[in-house]
Amino acid sequence: MCLFFSAAFPSLLLSVALVAQPVPAFESKSEINLLSSASQEEHFVLIEEPQQQSSEKTELVIPNLLERQSFSLDRGEACRYIMDTYEILTGKKPKTVSENYFTDVDANSQQFILQAHNLGIVSGTENHTFSPSKGISRGDFATLLYRLIKTIYADAELSGGENIVFEEDISKSAMIPLQFAYSRGLMDIQSNGMIGADDVITLGEVSEILNDVLEIAPDFPVQYTKFSSKRAYLTFDDGTSENTVKILDILKQYHVKATFFVTGSCDESLLKRMQSEGHIIGNHTNSHKYEVLYSSSDAFWADFNKEQQYLESILGTTSPFMRFPGGSNNSIGMKNGVMGNITTQAKQNGYIYVDWNVDSGDARGNNIPKDTIVSNVLNGTNGKNEVVILMHQTKPKQTTAEALPEIIEGLQSQGYEIRPLTEKSYTPRFVK
């Protein structure tokens, strides 16, 4: 699967949405990929305009993204955003290319394609075509991204994903780029549990990927060294206690990260430990009092914001993650008719509220038998590729901490990779 992306921008925007299937990289066997700087020793000469210098990385802006985020992307528009990213990262505008290698590219409206070709980021065919309006697959876009990064950061360490084995057939040309993109957290699994190398990539996904590149460049730290189509997210609710220490010790022993949804004035040292050890901290409200929180939308946000301010005073930052006490379908909030407004406001304010699809059952009483908690979790995963597990960390939850090693080992034996929540993670919601 090789690259020769294209499309006139913006004249082909409407056609982007109509692409139903990924288009093969070659129209026929007679079309041969022209090697780029990513796949041969000889590199293209980088010639740039001296003006337009910038030292500040900025966000990539894609026109009409909100309306078009689910559109399938074509090769030309993909190339345009790759070159926009190039300019942001380098602070330099590539020199205008006068010689048009392609017979199906307009040198005026699609100059960015010629510049990308000149830099060795995209390729063509032996017939000098670029196929302007054809769809681009996730594997092809990963290759385009990989070549972009190699062009800008010639000495960057891009290895670390070579042991990742995907659960589908991947073309030889896309394998290393996909391993790189996955290992850095730039691409993740699809809803079917696959990386989706041959699926057409969407505009929304491309926006996320390229803005993530802008955020982490030039270091590109490795996040994942193996692939699993099954994910488990351990979550612990409520205030900290001595059980929190035990939970953190166990997570550290197993090299596992979790997510803590905290309430009230939690122990400052434990919050800082969670943060320093790579766990995610979310807001579970300050009071956790249903009668207060769900009396009105204003009451909820006043309580929530109090906790948010406390967390920021301790951690210096806050995360977008939140969990409603009792879940987004709790009986009091639903009875009072406020949950619809509150969940809508949460999304409008940029928060990600997270319910659960596996319940450990440790909230049904104090010190529920350890074996019951383990059984509830490991049986609750049946038939699920992604599980968000509800547990608690308060003082009466000693058996939750005791059950944690068996839960971790059991999940791993079932083939789950245990991760902390990210903005791209699966997030079950009782109220959509």
DSSP 308-349: HHHHHHHHS---SEE--TT-TT-HHHHHHT-HHHHHHHHHHT
Is 371 considered catalytic here? Answer: no
Assess whether pLDDT exceeds 90 at residue 398.
Answer: yes
Question: What's the mean pLDDT in 106-135?
Answer: 91
pLDDT at residue 105 above 70?
Answer: yes
pLDDT tier, 424 (very low <50, low <70, confident <90, very high otherwise) = confident
pLDDT for res 168: 92
Looking at residues 80-97, what average pLDDT do you find? 94
Q: Which of 117, 279, 284, 392 is catalytic?
A: 392
User: Quick one: pLDDT at residue 126?
Assistant: 83
Instruction: Check if the beta carbon of residue 65 is closer than 8 Å to that of residue 81.
Output: no
Residue 109 has pLDDT above 60, yes or no: yes
- Taking the C-alpha atoms of residue 285 and residue 345, their distance in angstroms, rounded to an integer, is 15
pLDDT at site 175: 97
0.95 exceeded by pTM = no
Residue 5's pLDDT is 39
Confidence category of residue 11, pLDDT binned at 50, 70, 90? very low
Q: Reply yes or no on whether the pLDDT at 13 is more than 60.
A: no
Q: Is the preceding omega at residue 320 within 30 degrees of 0, hence cis?
A: no
Q: What is the band of 56 on the pLDDT scale with cuts at 50, 70, 90?
A: low
Looking at residue 57, its pLDDT comes to 65
What per-residue confidence (pLDDT) applies to 54?
Answer: 42
309-315 contact pairs (CB < 8 A, 24+): 310/265, 310/286, 311/262, 311/271, 311/281, 311/283, 314/268, 314/271, 314/272, 315/271, 315/272, 315/275, 315/281
Give tens-digit pLDDT for 367-379: 899 999 999 999 9
In the set 140, 188, 237, 238, the catalytic residue is: 237
Q: Calculate ∠ Cα 228-229-235, nearest 5°.
A: 85
| Other CB atoms within 10 A of residue 325 CB | 21
pLDDT for position 197: 95
Residue 90 phi/psi, 5-degree rounding, is: -95, -20
* Residue 57 C-alpha from the chain's centroid: 20
pLDDT at 45 over 60: no
261: helix, strand or coil:
strand
For range 297-322, the mean pLDDT: 96
Highest mean pLDDT range out of 56-65, 189-198, 202-211?
A: 202-211
Residue 79 scores a pLDDT above 60: yes
pLDDT value of position 171: 93
pLDDT at 66 over 90: no
Residue 89, pLDDT score: 95
pLDDT at 146 over 80: yes
**For the segment 225-282, what is each residue's pLDDT rounded down to a tens digit?**
989 889 999 999 999 999 999 999 999 999 999 999 999 999 999 999 999 999 999 9
Q: Which amino acid is at 297?
A: S
**Is 128 designated active site?**
no
Helix (H, G, I), strand (E, B) or coil at 73: coil
- For residue 87, the 8-state DSSP code is H
186 to 203, 423, 424: CA distances (angstroms): 14, 12, 10
Decide: helix, strand or coil at residue 178.
Answer: helix
Report whether 161 contacts 225 (CB < 8 A).
yes
Query: What pLDDT sits at residue 15?
Result: 32
pLDDT at 191 over 90: no
* 432 compared with 277, residue with greater pLDDT: 277
pLDDT tens per residue, range 161-173: 999 999 899 999 9
* 233 bridge partner residues: 388
Average pLDDT value over all residues in the chain: 86
Query: Does position 294 have pLDDT exceeding 80, yes or no?
Result: yes
User: For 355, how many CA atoms within 13 A lie in the half-sphere containing its CB?
Assistant: 12
